[in-house]
A and B are shown apart, each in its own frame.
Chain A
Protein backbone atom coordinates (compact mmCIF):
# COMPACT_ATOMS: atom_id res chain seq x y z
CA UNK A 1 0.00 0.00 0.00
CA UNK A 2 2.88 2.33 0.87
CA UNK A 3 4.49 1.52 -2.49
CA UNK A 4 1.25 2.48 -4.24
CA UNK A 5 1.20 5.78 -2.34
CA UNK A 6 4.78 6.52 -3.36
CA UNK A 7 3.89 5.80 -6.98
CA UNK A 8 0.98 8.29 -6.93
CA UNK A 9 3.04 11.16 -8.46
CA UNK A 10 3.50 8.98 -11.57
CA UNK A 11 -0.23 9.47 -12.17
CA UNK A 12 0.46 13.07 -13.14
CA UNK A 13 4.12 13.04 -14.15
CA UNK A 14 3.63 10.49 -16.94
CA UNK A 15 0.58 12.12 -18.59
CA UNK A 16 2.26 15.53 -18.33
CA UNK A 17 5.31 14.10 -20.10
CA UNK A 18 3.07 12.62 -22.81
CA UNK A 19 1.64 16.12 -23.42
CA UNK A 20 5.00 17.89 -23.32
CA UNK A 21 6.67 15.34 -25.61
CA UNK A 22 4.55 16.68 -28.47
CA UNK A 23 6.74 19.78 -28.50
CA UNK A 24 9.86 17.66 -29.11
CA UNK A 25 8.47 14.70 -31.10
CA UNK A 26 5.56 16.21 -33.05
CA UNK A 27 5.56 13.37 -35.61
CA UNK A 28 4.84 10.57 -33.11
CA UNK A 29 1.74 8.54 -33.99
CA UNK A 30 -0.02 9.23 -30.66
CA UNK A 31 -0.46 12.88 -31.66
CA UNK A 32 -2.04 12.10 -35.03
CA UNK A 33 -4.81 9.99 -36.50
CA UNK A 34 -8.58 10.14 -36.08
CA UNK A 35 -9.88 12.16 -33.17
CA UNK A 36 -9.59 11.76 -30.32
CA UNK A 37 -5.87 11.08 -30.67
CA UNK A 38 -4.21 8.80 -28.10
CA UNK A 39 -2.41 11.78 -26.55
CA UNK A 40 -5.62 13.84 -26.27
CA UNK A 41 -7.38 10.87 -24.64
CA UNK A 42 -4.53 10.46 -22.13
CA UNK A 43 -4.61 14.19 -21.31
CA UNK A 44 -8.37 14.35 -20.91
CA UNK A 45 -8.71 11.13 -18.91
CA UNK A 46 -5.78 11.93 -16.64
CA UNK A 47 -7.29 15.33 -15.81
CA UNK A 48 -10.63 13.72 -14.93
CA UNK A 49 -8.96 11.04 -12.79
CA UNK A 50 -6.69 13.54 -11.00
CA UNK A 51 -9.56 15.95 -10.33
CA UNK A 52 -11.61 13.06 -8.96
CA UNK A 53 -8.62 12.28 -6.69
CA UNK A 54 -8.47 15.95 -5.56
CA UNK A 55 -12.16 15.82 -4.66
CA UNK A 56 -12.03 12.36 -3.07
CA UNK A 57 -8.97 13.05 -0.88
CA UNK A 58 -10.37 16.44 0.17
CA UNK A 59 -13.71 14.89 1.17
CA UNK A 60 -11.79 12.17 3.06
CA UNK A 61 -9.84 14.82 4.94
CA UNK A 62 -13.04 16.65 5.83
CA UNK A 63 -14.41 13.41 7.25
CA UNK A 64 -11.17 12.44 9.04
CA UNK A 65 -10.89 15.87 10.67
CA UNK A 66 -14.60 16.13 11.47
CA UNK A 67 -13.99 15.77 15.21
CA UNK A 68 -11.06 18.19 15.23
CA UNK A 69 -11.52 21.69 16.65
CA UNK A 70 -11.51 25.07 14.92
CA UNK A 71 -13.78 23.99 12.04
CA UNK A 72 -10.93 22.66 9.90
CA UNK A 73 -13.36 20.12 8.48
CA UNK A 74 -15.48 22.82 6.83
CA UNK A 75 -12.37 24.29 5.14
CA UNK A 76 -11.73 20.87 3.55
CA UNK A 77 -15.44 20.59 2.61
CA UNK A 78 -15.20 23.89 0.72
CA UNK A 79 -12.06 22.73 -1.05
CA UNK A 80 -13.67 19.38 -1.86
CA UNK A 81 -16.76 21.12 -3.26
CA UNK A 82 -14.57 23.25 -5.51
CA UNK A 83 -12.68 20.23 -6.84
CA UNK A 84 -15.91 18.27 -7.34
CA UNK A 85 -17.27 21.14 -9.48
CA UNK A 86 -13.96 21.29 -11.37
CA UNK A 87 -14.13 17.54 -11.99
CA UNK A 88 -17.69 17.91 -13.35
CA UNK A 89 -16.45 20.67 -15.66
CA UNK A 90 -13.61 18.48 -16.91
CA UNK A 91 -16.01 15.57 -17.44
CA UNK A 92 -18.17 17.86 -19.56
CA UNK A 93 -15.11 18.75 -21.65
CA UNK A 94 -14.23 15.05 -21.82
CA UNK A 95 -17.66 14.30 -23.30
CA UNK A 96 -16.78 16.46 -26.29
CA UNK A 97 -13.10 15.55 -26.49
CA UNK A 98 -13.23 11.80 -25.96
CA UNK A 99 -16.79 10.66 -26.71
CA UNK A 100 -17.74 13.02 -29.54
CA UNK A 101 -14.17 13.48 -30.80
CA UNK A 102 -14.59 17.23 -31.33
CA UNK A 103 -13.38 20.44 -29.74
CA UNK A 104 -15.53 21.52 -26.83
CA UNK A 105 -17.44 24.72 -27.57
CA UNK A 106 -16.16 27.76 -25.73
CA UNK A 107 -18.03 28.83 -23.66
CA UNK A 108 -19.75 25.59 -22.66
CA UNK A 109 -21.45 24.08 -19.60
CA UNK A 110 -17.97 23.12 -18.44
CA UNK A 111 -17.20 26.80 -17.87
CA UNK A 112 -20.24 27.12 -15.60
CA UNK A 113 -18.81 24.36 -13.37
CA UNK A 114 -15.29 25.84 -13.47
CA UNK A 115 -16.52 29.33 -12.59
CA UNK A 116 -18.66 28.04 -9.72
CA UNK A 117 -15.61 26.30 -8.26
CA UNK A 118 -13.66 29.53 -7.71
CA UNK A 119 -15.76 30.95 -4.85
CA UNK A 120 -15.39 27.58 -3.14
CA UNK A 121 -11.59 27.70 -3.55
CA UNK A 122 -11.44 31.26 -2.22
CA UNK A 123 -13.67 30.41 0.74
CA UNK A 124 -11.55 27.32 1.47
CA UNK A 125 -8.20 29.14 1.38
CA UNK A 126 -9.53 31.94 3.62
CA UNK A 127 -10.95 29.34 6.00
CA UNK A 128 -7.58 27.54 6.22
CA UNK A 129 -5.87 30.83 7.04
CA UNK A 130 -8.46 31.63 9.73
CA UNK A 131 -8.41 28.15 11.25
CA UNK A 132 -4.61 27.92 11.41
CA UNK A 133 -4.43 31.34 13.06
CA UNK A 134 -7.08 30.31 15.61
CA UNK A 135 -5.17 27.11 16.30
CA UNK A 136 -1.98 29.06 17.05
CA UNK A 137 -0.21 28.47 13.74
CA UNK A 138 -0.57 31.94 12.27
CA UNK A 139 2.44 33.75 10.84
CA UNK A 140 2.62 37.47 11.59
CA UNK A 141 -0.14 39.66 12.96
CA UNK A 142 -3.55 40.11 11.31
CA UNK A 143 -2.52 43.64 10.25
CA UNK A 144 0.66 42.25 8.64
CA UNK A 145 -1.41 39.69 6.78
CA UNK A 146 -3.77 42.37 5.44
CA UNK A 147 -0.82 44.53 4.38
CA UNK A 148 0.89 41.61 2.61
CA UNK A 149 -2.38 40.55 0.98
CA UNK A 150 -2.95 44.10 -0.32
CA UNK A 151 0.64 44.35 -1.61
CA UNK A 152 0.31 41.02 -3.42
CA UNK A 153 -3.03 42.10 -4.91
CA UNK A 154 -1.59 45.35 -6.27
CA UNK A 155 1.49 43.55 -7.66
CA UNK A 156 -0.72 40.98 -9.38
CA UNK A 157 -2.83 43.69 -11.00
CA UNK A 158 0.30 45.43 -12.24
CA UNK A 159 1.48 42.22 -13.90
CA UNK A 160 -1.92 41.05 -15.08
CA UNK A 161 -3.15 44.17 -16.88
CA UNK A 162 -0.51 44.12 -19.64
CA UNK A 163 -0.61 40.32 -19.78
CA UNK A 164 -4.36 40.23 -20.35
CA UNK A 165 -4.49 43.07 -22.86
CA UNK A 166 -4.21 40.65 -25.82
CA UNK A 167 -7.19 38.69 -24.48
CA UNK A 168 -9.24 41.89 -24.32
CA UNK A 169 -8.24 43.02 -27.79
CA UNK A 170 -8.58 39.61 -29.47
CA UNK A 171 -11.30 39.22 -32.13
CA UNK A 172 -13.28 36.73 -30.03
CA UNK A 173 -16.98 36.64 -29.15
CA UNK A 174 -18.13 38.55 -26.07
CA UNK A 175 -18.61 35.32 -24.14
CA UNK A 176 -15.16 34.06 -25.09
CA UNK A 177 -13.51 37.36 -24.18
CA UNK A 178 -15.37 37.48 -20.87
CA UNK A 179 -14.20 33.97 -19.98
CA UNK A 180 -10.64 34.57 -21.17
CA UNK A 181 -10.55 37.45 -18.71
CA UNK A 182 -12.65 35.84 -15.97
CA UNK A 183 -10.37 32.86 -15.33
CA UNK A 184 -7.15 34.83 -14.80
CA UNK A 185 -9.01 37.48 -12.79
CA UNK A 186 -10.51 34.80 -10.54
CA UNK A 187 -7.04 33.27 -10.21
CA UNK A 188 -5.75 36.66 -9.13
CA UNK A 189 -8.31 36.68 -6.35
CA UNK A 190 -6.75 33.42 -5.13
CA UNK A 191 -3.18 34.69 -5.20
CA UNK A 192 -3.29 36.79 -2.01
CA UNK A 193 -4.58 33.96 0.25
CA UNK A 194 -2.20 31.57 -1.53
CA UNK A 195 0.79 33.78 -0.71
CA UNK A 196 -0.33 34.06 2.91
CA UNK A 197 -0.67 30.28 3.12
CA UNK A 198 2.78 29.92 1.52
CA UNK A 199 4.17 31.88 4.47
CA UNK A 200 2.54 29.39 6.82
CA UNK A 201 3.85 26.47 4.75
CA UNK A 202 7.35 27.94 4.81
CA UNK A 203 7.22 28.19 8.61
CA UNK A 204 6.19 24.51 8.68
CA UNK A 205 9.32 23.40 6.79
CA UNK A 206 11.04 20.38 8.27
CA UNK A 207 7.74 18.88 9.46
CA UNK A 208 5.51 16.36 7.74
CA UNK A 209 2.66 18.91 7.41
CA UNK A 210 4.88 21.07 5.18
CA UNK A 211 4.71 18.43 2.44
CA UNK A 212 0.91 18.69 2.40
CA UNK A 213 0.87 22.42 1.86
CA UNK A 214 3.86 22.59 -0.43
CA UNK A 215 2.05 20.24 -2.83
CA UNK A 216 -1.40 21.86 -2.53
CA UNK A 217 -0.07 25.41 -2.96
CA UNK A 218 2.21 24.46 -5.83
CA UNK A 219 -0.84 22.86 -7.45
CA UNK A 220 -2.83 26.08 -7.17
CA UNK A 221 0.13 28.06 -8.52
CA UNK A 222 0.28 25.77 -11.57
CA UNK A 223 -3.48 26.18 -12.04
CA UNK A 224 -3.16 29.97 -12.06
CA UNK A 225 -0.24 29.70 -14.51
CA UNK A 226 -2.29 27.36 -16.71
CA UNK A 227 -5.21 29.80 -16.85
CA UNK A 228 -2.94 32.70 -17.78
CA UNK A 229 -1.20 30.59 -20.47
CA UNK A 230 -4.56 29.41 -21.81
CA UNK A 231 -5.95 32.97 -22.01
CA UNK A 232 -2.75 34.26 -23.59
CA UNK A 233 -2.27 31.47 -26.16
CA UNK A 234 -5.92 31.28 -27.19
CA UNK A 235 -6.13 35.07 -27.59
CA UNK A 236 -3.01 34.98 -29.76
CA UNK A 237 -4.30 31.90 -31.63
CA UNK A 238 -1.17 29.88 -30.75
CA UNK A 239 -2.83 26.45 -30.67
CA UNK A 240 0.55 24.74 -31.18
CA UNK A 241 1.46 25.61 -27.58
CA UNK A 242 -1.52 23.68 -26.14
CA UNK A 243 0.74 20.89 -24.80
CA UNK A 244 2.19 23.40 -22.32
CA UNK A 245 -1.32 24.24 -21.11
CA UNK A 246 -2.36 20.57 -20.82
CA UNK A 247 0.83 19.68 -18.93
CA UNK A 248 0.42 22.66 -16.58
CA UNK A 249 -3.14 21.62 -15.67
CA UNK A 250 -2.21 17.95 -15.27
CA UNK A 251 0.66 18.82 -12.92
CA UNK A 252 -1.58 21.28 -11.06
CA UNK A 253 -4.33 18.74 -10.35
CA UNK A 254 -1.77 16.06 -9.57
CA UNK A 255 0.00 18.21 -6.99
CA UNK A 256 -3.22 19.18 -5.23
CA UNK A 257 -4.31 15.52 -5.14
CA UNK A 258 -0.88 14.53 -3.78
CA UNK A 259 -1.08 17.20 -1.05
CA UNK A 260 -4.59 16.18 -0.04
CA UNK A 261 -3.52 12.52 -0.04
CA UNK A 262 -0.59 13.33 2.26
CA UNK A 263 -2.93 15.16 4.64
CA UNK A 264 -5.07 12.03 4.75
CA UNK A 265 -2.04 9.90 5.56
CA UNK A 266 -1.09 12.31 8.39
CA UNK A 267 -4.50 12.16 10.01
CA UNK A 268 -4.87 8.39 9.52
CA UNK A 269 -4.95 6.31 12.68
Chain B
Protein backbone atom coordinates (compact mmCIF):
# COMPACT_ATOMS: atom_id res chain seq x y z
CA UNK B 1 0.00 0.00 0.00
CA UNK B 2 2.03 2.96 -1.29
CA UNK B 3 1.53 6.47 0.07
CA UNK B 4 0.45 8.68 -2.81
CA UNK B 5 -0.75 11.93 -1.24
CA UNK B 6 1.20 14.84 0.25
CA UNK B 7 0.75 15.62 3.95
CA UNK B 8 2.10 17.99 6.59
CA UNK B 9 5.61 17.12 7.75
CA UNK B 10 4.60 17.45 11.40
CA UNK B 11 1.76 14.97 10.92
CA UNK B 12 4.17 12.47 9.40
CA UNK B 13 6.75 12.97 12.16
CA UNK B 14 4.11 12.54 14.86
CA UNK B 15 2.62 9.42 13.26
CA UNK B 16 6.01 7.75 12.82
CA UNK B 17 7.06 8.76 16.35
CA UNK B 18 3.92 7.14 17.78
CA UNK B 19 4.60 3.90 15.91
CA UNK B 20 8.24 3.77 17.03
CA UNK B 21 7.64 4.75 20.66
CA UNK B 22 6.94 1.24 22.04
CA UNK B 23 10.34 0.12 20.75
CA UNK B 24 12.71 3.06 21.21
CA UNK B 25 10.78 5.45 23.45
CA UNK B 26 9.20 8.79 22.53
CA UNK B 27 12.37 10.91 22.89
CA UNK B 28 14.57 8.75 20.67
CA UNK B 29 11.71 8.09 18.23
CA UNK B 30 11.11 11.80 17.67
CA UNK B 31 14.80 12.66 17.40
CA UNK B 32 15.48 9.72 15.05
CA UNK B 33 12.60 10.67 12.73
CA UNK B 34 13.72 14.33 12.76
CA UNK B 35 17.33 13.26 12.06
CA UNK B 36 16.25 11.18 9.07
CA UNK B 37 14.12 14.11 7.82
CA UNK B 38 17.26 16.25 7.92
CA UNK B 39 19.33 13.60 6.14
CA UNK B 40 16.70 13.43 3.40
CA UNK B 41 16.43 17.21 3.20
CA UNK B 42 12.76 17.22 4.22
CA UNK B 43 12.70 20.71 5.67
CA UNK B 44 9.46 21.97 4.12
CA UNK B 45 6.02 22.11 5.75
CA UNK B 46 4.68 19.35 3.51
CA UNK B 47 6.09 16.02 2.33
CA UNK B 48 5.01 14.16 -0.78
CA UNK B 49 3.92 10.53 -0.71
CA UNK B 50 7.25 9.49 -2.25
CA UNK B 51 9.19 11.47 0.34
CA UNK B 52 7.13 9.89 3.14
CA UNK B 53 7.91 6.46 1.68
CA UNK B 54 11.62 7.33 1.62
CA UNK B 55 11.46 8.51 5.21
CA UNK B 56 9.74 5.31 6.36
CA UNK B 57 12.34 3.21 4.53
CA UNK B 58 15.18 5.15 6.13
CA UNK B 59 13.71 4.94 9.65
CA UNK B 60 12.97 1.23 9.19
CA UNK B 61 16.49 0.66 7.93
CA UNK B 62 17.83 2.17 11.16
CA UNK B 63 15.41 0.26 13.33
CA UNK B 64 16.73 -3.10 12.18
CA UNK B 65 19.88 -2.63 14.31
CA UNK B 66 17.59 -3.22 17.29
CA UNK B 67 14.84 -5.44 15.94
CA UNK B 68 16.47 -7.33 13.10
CA UNK B 69 15.44 -7.05 9.47
CA UNK B 70 12.27 -9.13 9.65
CA UNK B 71 10.72 -7.51 12.70
CA UNK B 72 11.73 -4.05 11.46
CA UNK B 73 9.89 -4.84 8.20
CA UNK B 74 6.73 -5.47 10.24
CA UNK B 75 7.13 -2.05 11.90
CA UNK B 76 7.71 -0.45 8.49
CA UNK B 77 4.39 -1.92 7.33
CA UNK B 78 2.78 -0.54 10.47
CA UNK B 79 4.17 2.93 9.66
CA UNK B 80 2.84 2.67 6.11
CA UNK B 81 -0.59 1.71 7.44
CA UNK B 82 -0.49 4.64 9.87
CA UNK B 83 0.13 7.02 7.00
CA UNK B 84 -2.32 5.19 4.76
CA UNK B 85 -5.88 6.11 3.76
CA UNK B 86 -7.22 7.11 7.20
CA UNK B 87 -4.33 9.53 7.79
CA UNK B 88 -4.64 10.93 4.29
CA UNK B 89 -8.35 11.64 4.72
CA UNK B 90 -7.71 14.12 7.54
Q: Which residues of A contact B (CB under 8 A)?
A: 64-65, 67-70, 72, 131-132, 135-139, 200, 203-210, 212, 263, 266-269
Contacts and interface: CB of A to CB of B under 8 A. Distances in A.
B62 interface: yes
Nearest to A212: B66
A67 B68 contact: yes
B21 A68 contact: no
The dominant DSSP class at the A interface is loop
B39 A266 contact: no
B36 to A, nearest CB: 5
Contacts of B25: 203-207, 209-210
23 contacts: A68-B65, A68-B72, A69-B61, A69-B64, A70-B62, A131-B65, A135-B61, A135-B63, A135-B65, A136-B35, A137-B24, A137-B28, A137-B32, A137-B65, A204-B25, A204-B27, A205-B25, A206-B21, A206-B27, A207-B20, A207-B29, A210-B24, A263-B66
B29 to A, nearest CB: 7
A209 B25 CA distance: 8
A212 B68 CA distance: 14
A269 B71 contact: yes
